[in-house]
Structure 1
Amino acid sequence: MKTISAKMQVDHPVTEGVLDEAIESGELRRRSGLNATTVIFLDPCLAVGFEDGSGVLLPVKNYPEFDGFETEDFAGLKIGFAGAALCHEGKDLQVSIAGLISASKPLMDMAASVIASRNGRQSSAAKAEAARANGKKGGRPRKVDTAL
């Protein structure tokens, strides 16, 4: 049998520096993730609100996770897992908000469109250098029609 040594010692004392680093790491993770802050049932949809004030309406009929839920059961939904999931203690339900959103084709199509638009605006260092070089020459060179 092969013995594997642990790489990280868990019995090290927690110093102020380690604690500050952990808090900063957690804050970065929180800011970069999906952070819902509110959930409200607006029949026939769930309204999920996020930190920046934006929100999304999710029709519950599209999600089998909510089959058997009564109107009063929706009042028991809470935000959990640091804003990443909807939880209901009585129904033993934990469902990912990202999963709910990704199950909606129109929302995913919109997300793909937004990402494509954002990525199209990005410029690499090579593209920026080529644009500067072309600018010095008076702009993009004209295409020469060789079919004459």
Structure 2
Amino acid sequence: MKAVKAKNQVDRPVTESVLDEAIERGRLRRNSGLQATAVTFLEPCLAVSFEDGSGVLLPVKCYPEFDDFRTQDFAGLKVGFSGTALCHEGKDLQISIAGMISASKPLMDMAASVVASRNGRQSSAAKAEAARANGRKGGRPRKVEVAL
């Protein structure tokens, strides 16, 4: 898993416009989709539950961040950062749920398959017009086999 170094933030005075920008960023983040509501340790996995009732099991052995965790340490694991991260205050751990999912090859393969399926069903205005034009001509032309 890739470690991301925190950037130094220059202190900015909190003005109405800065506050409005922060609220808007939070609103956009909340609407972005991935909102975990709970995490439970079901040995040997973490069960992460989402707003819509779905969930995912992530095996802790695949994540080196949990190497020094004992079974009782997992009880202190909480969902934070507006449902986008797992946090443990005692261990000073904040780990992105999206990052954990993206580190799993089978989950990423499944996600790619789902995205490809969904994208294949979408029809742009150009595709729809081409389909109508082909329909007016009697449908898709038959393939012509070329004899060699």
Q: TM-score range by the shorter chain?
A: 0.7 to 0.9
Question: Residue deviations 1:26-74, cap 9 Å, x none?
Answer: 3343121311000000011000000000000001011100011011100
Question: Would you say 1:100 and 2:124 are equivalent positions?
Answer: no
- 1:129 corresponds to: 129
Return the offset for 1:22: 7.0
Runs of 4 or more off by more than 3 Å in structure 1? Answer: 10-14, 21-28, 144-148
Query: Considering only aligned residues, what root-mean-square deviation do their CA atoms show, in Å?
Result: 2.4
For structure 2, the residue ranges without an aligned partner over 5 or more in a row are 1-12
TM-score w.r.t. the length of structure 2 is 0.81
**Which of these two proteins has the greater Rg computed from alpha carbons?**
1
Alignment of 1:70-109 (within 5 A): 70-109=70-109
**Secondary structure class of the residue paired with 2:39:** strand
| Deviation (angstroms), 1:121 | 1.1
Partner of residue 65, structure 2? 65
Aligned-residue sequence identity (percent) comes to 79
Unaligned runs of 5+ in 1: 1-9
Paired residue total: 136
1:44 matched residue in structure 2: 44
Q: Residue 72 of structure 1 aligns to which amino acid in structure 2?
A: Q
What is the aligned partner in structure 2 of residue 6 from structure 1?
none
